[in-house]
Amino acid sequence: MKTGYWLATLLMAVSVGAAWAEPSSKVAWTPEQLAALKRGDAAKGKAIAETCAACHANGGQFPYLDGQLAPYLYKQLQDYKDGSRDNPVMTGLVAGLSAEDMAHVAAHYSQQALPPAPKTEPASEAAEVLVEMGDSRRILPPCAACHEASGKGQKIDVPAIAGQNAAYLEQTLLDYKSGARHNDLYGRMHSITQQLNEDEIRQLARYYAGLRR
Ligand code: HEC
Ligand code: HEC
Protein backbone atom coordinates (compact mmCIF):
# COMPACT_ATOMS: atom_id res chain seq x y z
CA MET A 1 0.00 0.00 0.00
CA LYS A 2 1.35 3.42 -0.92
CA THR A 3 1.01 4.80 2.58
CA GLY A 4 3.67 7.47 2.06
CA TYR A 5 1.90 8.91 -0.95
CA TRP A 6 -1.44 9.01 0.82
CA LEU A 7 -0.04 10.57 3.95
CA ALA A 8 1.72 13.30 1.96
CA THR A 9 -1.45 14.08 -0.01
CA LEU A 10 -3.53 14.13 3.12
CA LEU A 11 -1.16 16.38 5.05
CA MET A 12 -1.13 18.75 2.10
CA ALA A 13 -4.93 18.83 2.05
CA VAL A 14 -4.97 19.50 5.77
CA SER A 15 -2.47 22.33 5.64
CA VAL A 16 -4.37 23.97 2.76
CA GLY A 17 -7.55 23.62 4.85
CA ALA A 18 -5.99 25.88 7.54
CA ALA A 19 -9.20 25.88 9.62
CA TRP A 20 -7.36 23.83 12.25
CA ALA A 21 -4.83 26.39 13.36
CA GLU A 22 -5.39 25.58 17.05
CA PRO A 23 -3.58 22.45 18.25
CA SER A 24 -6.18 19.68 18.46
CA SER A 25 -4.52 17.97 21.42
CA LYS A 26 -2.00 19.02 24.03
CA VAL A 27 -0.36 15.59 23.99
CA ALA A 28 2.92 15.55 22.03
CA TRP A 29 4.92 12.35 21.64
CA THR A 30 8.19 13.67 23.01
CA PRO A 31 10.77 11.16 24.29
CA GLU A 32 9.91 12.30 27.85
CA GLN A 33 6.23 11.63 27.26
CA LEU A 34 6.89 8.18 25.84
CA ALA A 35 9.20 7.38 28.77
CA ALA A 36 6.50 8.45 31.25
CA LEU A 37 4.04 6.19 29.47
CA LYS A 38 6.46 3.28 29.74
CA ARG A 39 6.51 3.69 33.51
CA GLY A 40 2.78 2.81 33.54
CA ASP A 41 2.24 -0.03 36.01
CA ALA A 42 -0.45 -2.46 34.84
CA ALA A 43 -1.07 -3.75 38.40
CA LYS A 44 -1.88 -0.24 39.62
CA GLY A 45 -3.93 0.29 36.46
CA LYS A 46 -6.01 -2.81 37.20
CA ALA A 47 -7.21 -1.31 40.47
CA ILE A 48 -8.21 1.91 38.70
CA ALA A 49 -9.96 -0.03 35.94
CA GLU A 50 -12.36 -1.52 38.48
CA THR A 51 -14.07 1.87 38.55
CA CYS A 52 -14.41 1.81 34.75
CA ALA A 53 -15.86 -1.67 34.34
CA ALA A 54 -19.48 -0.65 34.93
CA CYS A 55 -19.44 0.99 31.51
CA HIS A 56 -16.43 -0.42 29.66
CA ALA A 57 -16.81 -4.13 30.38
CA ASN A 58 -16.84 -4.62 26.61
CA GLY A 59 -20.16 -4.31 25.00
CA GLY A 60 -23.30 -2.28 24.78
CA GLN A 61 -22.92 1.29 23.66
CA PHE A 62 -19.48 1.90 25.20
CA PRO A 63 -16.17 1.59 23.40
CA TYR A 64 -14.03 -1.40 24.34
CA LEU A 65 -10.70 -0.56 25.95
CA ASP A 66 -9.25 -4.08 26.29
CA GLY A 67 -6.39 -4.62 23.86
CA GLN A 68 -6.31 -0.95 22.80
CA LEU A 69 -2.90 0.71 22.27
CA ALA A 70 -1.59 2.36 25.46
CA PRO A 71 -0.51 5.67 23.84
CA TYR A 72 -3.96 6.03 22.24
CA LEU A 73 -5.73 5.43 25.57
CA TYR A 74 -3.40 7.78 27.40
CA LYS A 75 -3.93 10.50 24.79
CA GLN A 76 -7.72 10.21 24.98
CA LEU A 77 -7.69 10.45 28.79
CA GLN A 78 -5.48 13.56 28.69
CA ASP A 79 -7.69 15.03 25.96
CA TYR A 80 -10.82 14.53 28.10
CA LYS A 81 -9.06 16.07 31.06
CA ASP A 82 -7.93 19.27 29.33
CA GLY A 83 -11.09 19.61 27.22
CA SER A 84 -9.52 18.72 23.85
CA ARG A 85 -12.15 15.94 23.62
CA ASP A 86 -15.59 16.75 25.03
CA ASN A 87 -17.78 14.24 26.78
CA PRO A 88 -19.53 15.18 30.02
CA VAL A 89 -19.34 11.64 31.44
CA MET A 90 -15.65 11.04 30.73
CA THR A 91 -14.59 14.59 31.61
CA GLY A 92 -16.07 14.15 35.09
CA LEU A 93 -14.45 10.74 35.50
CA VAL A 94 -10.91 11.73 34.55
CA ALA A 95 -10.87 14.81 36.78
CA GLY A 96 -9.47 12.68 39.62
CA LEU A 97 -6.84 10.87 37.52
CA SER A 98 -3.23 12.09 37.51
CA ALA A 99 -0.99 11.66 34.46
CA GLU A 100 0.61 8.69 36.27
CA ASP A 101 -2.81 7.10 36.88
CA MET A 102 -3.56 7.47 33.18
CA ALA A 103 -0.31 5.73 32.26
CA HIS A 104 -1.15 2.92 34.72
CA VAL A 105 -4.67 2.35 33.43
CA ALA A 106 -3.49 2.57 29.79
CA ALA A 107 -0.86 -0.09 30.53
CA HIS A 108 -3.49 -2.33 32.12
CA TYR A 109 -5.94 -2.19 29.21
CA SER A 110 -3.25 -2.53 26.54
CA GLN A 111 -2.16 -5.82 28.09
CA GLN A 112 -5.64 -7.38 27.97
CA ALA A 113 -6.70 -9.57 25.08
CA LEU A 114 -9.00 -7.93 22.55
CA PRO A 115 -12.61 -8.88 23.28
CA PRO A 116 -14.39 -11.19 20.81
CA ALA A 117 -16.00 -9.35 17.89
CA PRO A 118 -19.73 -8.80 18.39
CA LYS A 119 -22.22 -10.12 15.83
CA THR A 120 -23.09 -7.47 13.27
CA GLU A 121 -24.91 -7.04 9.99
CA PRO A 122 -22.65 -7.49 6.95
CA ALA A 123 -21.21 -4.29 5.44
CA SER A 124 -21.47 -3.22 1.79
CA GLU A 125 -18.75 -4.00 -0.74
CA ALA A 126 -18.31 -0.25 -1.20
CA ALA A 127 -17.17 -0.03 2.43
CA GLU A 128 -14.61 -2.75 1.84
CA VAL A 129 -13.23 -0.81 -1.14
CA LEU A 130 -12.89 2.34 0.99
CA VAL A 131 -11.05 0.37 3.66
CA GLU A 132 -8.63 -1.30 1.28
CA MET A 133 -8.22 1.18 -1.58
CA GLY A 134 -9.62 4.53 -0.44
CA ASP A 135 -10.88 6.77 -3.23
CA SER A 136 -8.40 8.81 -5.25
CA ARG A 137 -11.15 11.01 -6.74
CA ARG A 138 -11.74 12.39 -3.29
CA ILE A 139 -8.51 12.74 -1.32
CA LEU A 140 -9.42 9.66 0.66
CA PRO A 141 -6.67 7.33 1.80
CA PRO A 142 -7.52 3.71 2.58
CA CYS A 143 -8.42 3.24 6.24
CA ALA A 144 -6.11 0.21 6.26
CA ALA A 145 -3.07 2.42 5.53
CA CYS A 146 -3.25 3.63 9.11
CA HIS A 147 -5.51 1.23 11.03
CA GLU A 148 -3.87 -1.83 9.35
CA ALA A 149 -5.73 -4.43 7.30
CA SER A 150 -6.61 -6.31 10.48
CA GLY A 151 -7.96 -3.14 12.12
CA LYS A 152 -5.58 -3.58 15.05
CA GLY A 153 -4.16 -0.06 14.78
CA GLN A 154 -0.48 0.86 14.87
CA LYS A 155 2.13 2.86 16.75
CA ILE A 156 2.02 5.42 18.10
CA ASP A 157 -1.59 6.34 18.52
CA VAL A 158 -3.68 4.91 15.67
CA PRO A 159 -6.41 3.04 17.56
CA ALA A 160 -7.54 -0.56 17.13
CA ILE A 161 -11.06 -0.44 15.70
CA ALA A 162 -11.71 -4.05 14.63
CA GLY A 163 -14.62 -5.50 16.57
CA GLN A 164 -15.40 -2.15 18.18
CA ASN A 165 -19.09 -1.73 18.79
CA ALA A 166 -20.88 -0.43 15.67
CA ALA A 167 -22.99 2.22 17.40
CA TYR A 168 -19.89 3.78 18.99
CA LEU A 169 -17.93 3.66 15.72
CA GLU A 170 -20.74 5.34 13.81
CA GLN A 171 -21.25 8.04 16.43
CA THR A 172 -17.57 8.87 16.79
CA LEU A 173 -17.10 9.09 12.99
CA LEU A 174 -20.10 11.44 12.78
CA ASP A 175 -18.55 13.46 15.61
CA TYR A 176 -15.24 13.81 13.73
CA LYS A 177 -17.22 14.85 10.63
CA SER A 178 -19.25 17.53 12.40
CA GLY A 179 -16.25 18.68 14.42
CA ALA A 180 -17.89 17.70 17.73
CA ARG A 181 -14.83 15.46 18.21
CA HIS A 182 -11.78 17.53 17.36
CA ASN A 183 -8.86 15.96 19.20
CA ASP A 184 -7.24 14.18 16.22
CA LEU A 185 -3.71 15.40 15.58
CA TYR A 186 -3.41 17.25 12.25
CA GLY A 187 -7.20 16.88 11.85
CA ARG A 188 -6.64 13.64 9.96
CA MET A 189 -9.91 11.95 10.88
CA HIS A 190 -11.79 15.22 10.41
CA SER A 191 -10.54 15.62 6.82
CA ILE A 192 -11.35 12.00 6.05
CA THR A 193 -14.86 11.93 7.50
CA GLN A 194 -15.74 15.26 5.86
CA GLN A 195 -15.56 13.42 2.57
CA LEU A 196 -17.73 10.50 3.63
CA ASN A 197 -21.52 10.60 3.55
CA GLU A 198 -23.61 9.23 6.42
CA ASP A 199 -24.41 5.99 4.64
CA GLU A 200 -20.72 5.32 4.00
CA ILE A 201 -20.03 6.03 7.67
CA ARG A 202 -22.73 3.55 8.75
CA GLN A 203 -21.31 0.90 6.42
CA LEU A 204 -17.73 1.49 7.58
CA ALA A 205 -18.88 1.17 11.20
CA ARG A 206 -20.51 -2.15 10.34
CA TYR A 207 -17.43 -3.30 8.47
CA TYR A 208 -15.09 -2.68 11.39
CA ALA A 209 -17.51 -3.93 14.03
CA GLY A 210 -17.70 -7.22 12.16
CA LEU A 211 -13.97 -7.54 11.49
CA ARG A 212 -12.48 -10.54 13.28
CA ARG A 213 -9.25 -9.77 15.06
C1 HEC B 1 -20.58 6.04 33.30
C2 HEC B 1 -19.98 5.30 32.20
C3 HEC B 1 -18.47 5.35 32.05
C4 HEC B 1 -17.51 5.06 33.00
C5 HEC B 1 -17.69 4.65 34.45
C6 HEC B 1 -16.23 5.21 32.32
N7 HEC B 1 -16.41 5.56 31.01
FE8 HEC B 1 -14.96 5.85 29.62
N9 HEC B 1 -16.37 6.27 28.21
C10 HEC B 1 -17.73 6.34 28.44
C11 HEC B 1 -18.40 6.82 27.22
C12 HEC B 1 -19.88 7.05 27.04
C13 HEC B 1 -17.38 7.02 26.26
C14 HEC B 1 -17.51 7.57 24.83
C15 HEC B 1 -17.47 9.06 24.97
C16 HEC B 1 -17.21 9.85 23.71
O17 HEC B 1 -17.90 9.63 22.70
O18 HEC B 1 -16.28 10.70 23.74
C19 HEC B 1 -16.12 6.67 26.92
C20 HEC B 1 -14.88 6.75 26.31
C21 HEC B 1 -13.68 6.41 26.91
C22 HEC B 1 -12.40 6.42 26.24
C23 HEC B 1 -12.16 6.73 24.77
C24 HEC B 1 -12.18 5.40 24.01
C25 HEC B 1 -11.90 5.51 22.55
O26 HEC B 1 -11.92 4.47 21.89
O27 HEC B 1 -11.65 6.61 22.06
C28 HEC B 1 -11.46 6.05 27.15
C29 HEC B 1 -9.97 5.90 26.94
C30 HEC B 1 -12.16 5.80 28.40
N31 HEC B 1 -13.51 6.04 28.22
C32 HEC B 1 -11.54 5.39 29.57
C33 HEC B 1 -12.20 5.22 30.78
C34 HEC B 1 -11.52 4.92 32.02
C35 HEC B 1 -10.03 4.71 32.19
C36 HEC B 1 -12.50 4.84 33.00
C37 HEC B 1 -12.32 4.57 34.47
C38 HEC B 1 -11.42 5.49 35.17
C39 HEC B 1 -13.78 5.09 32.33
N40 HEC B 1 -13.55 5.33 31.00
C41 HEC B 1 -15.00 5.05 32.96
C42 HEC B 1 -18.37 6.00 29.61
C43 HEC B 1 -17.77 5.67 30.80
C1 HEC C 1 -3.75 9.00 8.03
C2 HEC C 1 -4.02 7.90 8.96
C3 HEC C 1 -5.47 7.50 9.12
C4 HEC C 1 -6.35 7.08 8.15
C5 HEC C 1 -6.10 6.98 6.65
C6 HEC C 1 -7.58 6.73 8.83
N7 HEC C 1 -7.44 6.92 10.18
FE8 HEC C 1 -8.89 6.64 11.57
N9 HEC C 1 -7.65 7.39 13.01
C10 HEC C 1 -6.35 7.79 12.82
C11 HEC C 1 -5.82 8.33 14.07
C12 HEC C 1 -4.41 8.87 14.29
C13 HEC C 1 -6.88 8.26 15.01
C14 HEC C 1 -6.86 8.75 16.48
C15 HEC C 1 -7.20 10.23 16.48
C16 HEC C 1 -7.49 10.81 17.84
O17 HEC C 1 -6.58 10.88 18.67
O18 HEC C 1 -8.66 11.20 18.07
C19 HEC C 1 -8.00 7.65 14.32
C20 HEC C 1 -9.22 7.39 14.90
C21 HEC C 1 -10.27 6.69 14.30
C22 HEC C 1 -11.47 6.26 14.97
C23 HEC C 1 -11.82 6.49 16.43
C24 HEC C 1 -11.59 5.21 17.22
C25 HEC C 1 -12.03 5.30 18.66
O26 HEC C 1 -11.80 4.32 19.39
O27 HEC C 1 -12.63 6.30 19.05
C28 HEC C 1 -12.23 5.61 14.03
C29 HEC C 1 -13.57 4.96 14.25
C30 HEC C 1 -11.50 5.64 12.78
N31 HEC C 1 -10.31 6.31 12.97
C32 HEC C 1 -11.95 5.08 11.58
C33 HEC C 1 -11.32 5.26 10.35
C34 HEC C 1 -11.91 4.89 9.07
C35 HEC C 1 -13.26 4.21 8.90
C36 HEC C 1 -11.01 5.25 8.11
C37 HEC C 1 -11.16 5.14 6.60
C38 HEC C 1 -12.32 5.82 6.01
C39 HEC C 1 -9.87 5.84 8.80
N40 HEC C 1 -10.09 5.83 10.16
C41 HEC C 1 -8.72 6.29 8.17
C42 HEC C 1 -5.63 7.70 11.64
C43 HEC C 1 -6.17 7.39 10.40
**CA 55 – ligand 1 centroid, Å:** 7
Highest mean pLDDT among 72-76, 138-142, 209-213: 72-76
**How far is it, in rounded angstroms, from Cα 4 to Cα 29?**
20
**CA 45 – ligand 2 centroid, Å:** 25
Kindly give the number of the ligand 1 atom that is closest to the alpha carbon of 181: 18
Fold match, 3-22+117-209 / 31-110:
yes
165 CB within 6 A, ligand 2: no
Kindly give the number of the ligand 1 atom that is closest to the alpha carbon of 64: 26
110 CB within 6 A, ligand 1: no
**pTM score:** 0.92
Fold exhibited by the domain 31-110: Cytochrome Bc1 Complex; Chain D, domain 2 (1.10.760)
In sequence order, the 6+-apart residues with CB closer than 8 A to the CB of 70 are 37, 40, 103, 106, 107, 109, 110
Which ligand is closest to the CA of 90, given by its number?
A: 1
- Summarised one tens digit per residue, pLDDT across range 91-100 is 999 999 999 9
Q: Delimit the domains of the chain by residue range.
A: 3-22+117-209, 31-110
Least confident window among 11-15, 42-46, 64-68, 202-206: 11-15
**How far is it, in rounded angstroms, from Cα 196 to Cα 64?**
24
- Summarised one tens digit per residue, pLDDT across range 164-207 is 999 999 999 999 999 999 999 999 999 999 999 999 999 999 99
Least confident window among 12-21, 23-32, 160-169, 171-180: 12-21
**CATH class for domain 3-22+117-209?**
mainly alpha
